[in-house]
Amino acid sequence: MSDPGGDASLEELMAVMAHDLNNPIAALITNLSFVESSLAPGTGTEAVEALGDAQMLCDVLRRLTGNLDLVARRGGPPSGAAAACDLVLFGREALGRLGKQAAAAEVDLVLDPALRHGEVMVRCDRGLCARAIDNLIAFGIERAAPRTALVLSAARDGAEARVEVRYTPRSYHTVDPPPTGAPPAQRRRYIQATYGRGLSIYCVRVAATLLGGRLDTTHEEDGRARLCLVASCPEER
């Protein structure tokens, strides 16, 4: 039997897996929302917290499934047509989607109060743009120290638009790249230390590339870390 393997086959498999996982995850989210709406007054705190944790984990699963689909598309063209995207609005919506994950990590999510809707517009694939911003924030939440704030901002700079998350980083142990032939556990530790669980920052880079942009990671002198998603924003025609 011939081996149908190769990157193309693996990417097709990942896309199918992502598609097949979406329906049960959506059903779980719907059922949990129904349970939440049916809670009787006076329901114990532990039950409410357990339900909240389950909803948060479903949100994480949905993002991970989306990332499977995103990685399967790397190297190909964006699937959606370019449309006007308000990065301030996209950022506000992403903060809402990741609120429970941030609360579990004891990180406050803040949208730069100086931003106004319609100030930072780009033309690109809306789905890819939203996914890039989701992953950008998710990575910041993972790296931020507990009981600190993550601030999302956006700005135009000439022909580019920047979305940034700024946070106070927790201490991380540096993990050296594994040598050739290293055991899987060692490779996993390196991947998680470099890209985060769920490959958040890797998926920001994939989405940015598909959008024709790039990802910048810098460290400021005041000890805060900054991640910048840069997407080209051609003028309206």
Which residues constitute the domain of residue 44? 7-72
Asked if residues 116 and 166 have their Cβ atoms less than 8 Å apart, the reply is no
Residue 49 lies in a domain: yes
- In this structure, the answer to whether residues 38 and 95 fall within a common structural domain is no
- In this structure, the answer to whether residues 55 and 126 fall within a common structural domain is no
Residue 116 lies in a domain: yes
Domain count, the chain: 2
- What is the per-residue pLDDT for 5? 42
Distance CA 201, CA 119 (A): 26
- In this structure, the answer to whether residues 86 and 188 fall within a common structural domain is yes
- In this structure, the answer to whether residues 17 and 86 fall within a common structural domain is no
- In this structure, the answer to whether residues 63 and 89 fall within a common structural domain is no
Residue 77 lies in a domain: no
CA-to-CA separations, 170 to 17, 106, 153, 163, 167, in angstroms, rounded: 34, 12, 21, 21, 9
Residue 115 lies in a domain: yes
Residue 91 lies in a domain: yes
pLDDT per residue as tens, the chain (237 positions): 334 344 567 777 777 777 788 888 888 889 888 988 888 888 888 888 888 888 888 888 888 888 888 888 776 666 667 888 999 999 999 999 999 889 888 999 999 999 999 999 988 889 999 999 999 999 888 888 899 999 999 998 887 888 999 998 877 655 677 787 777 777 666 665 555 555 788 889 889 888 888 888 766 445 566 777 777 766 554
- In this structure, the answer to whether residues 93 and 114 fall within a common structural domain is yes
- In this structure, the answer to whether residues 56 and 95 fall within a common structural domain is no
Residue 42 lies in a domain: yes
- In this structure, the answer to whether residues 101 and 157 fall within a common structural domain is yes
Q: Which of 46, 72, 98 is the last residue of a domain?
A: 72
- What is the per-residue pLDDT for 225? 66
- In this structure, the answer to whether residues 42 and 115 fall within a common structural domain is no
Cα 217–204–227 angle (5° rounding)? 25
- What is the per-residue pLDDT for 90? 96
- CB-based burial, 123-142: b 16+ in 10 Å, e otherwise: bbbbbbbbbbbbbbbbbbbb
Distance CA 39, CA 65 (A): 29
Residue 237 lies in a domain: no
- In this structure, the answer to whether residues 181 and 117 fall within a common structural domain is yes
- What is the per-residue pLDDT for 3? 40
- In this structure, the answer to whether residues 117 and 49 fall within a common structural domain is no
- In this structure, the answer to whether residues 145 and 54 fall within a common structural domain is no
Which CATH number characterizes residue 180's domain?
3.30.565.10
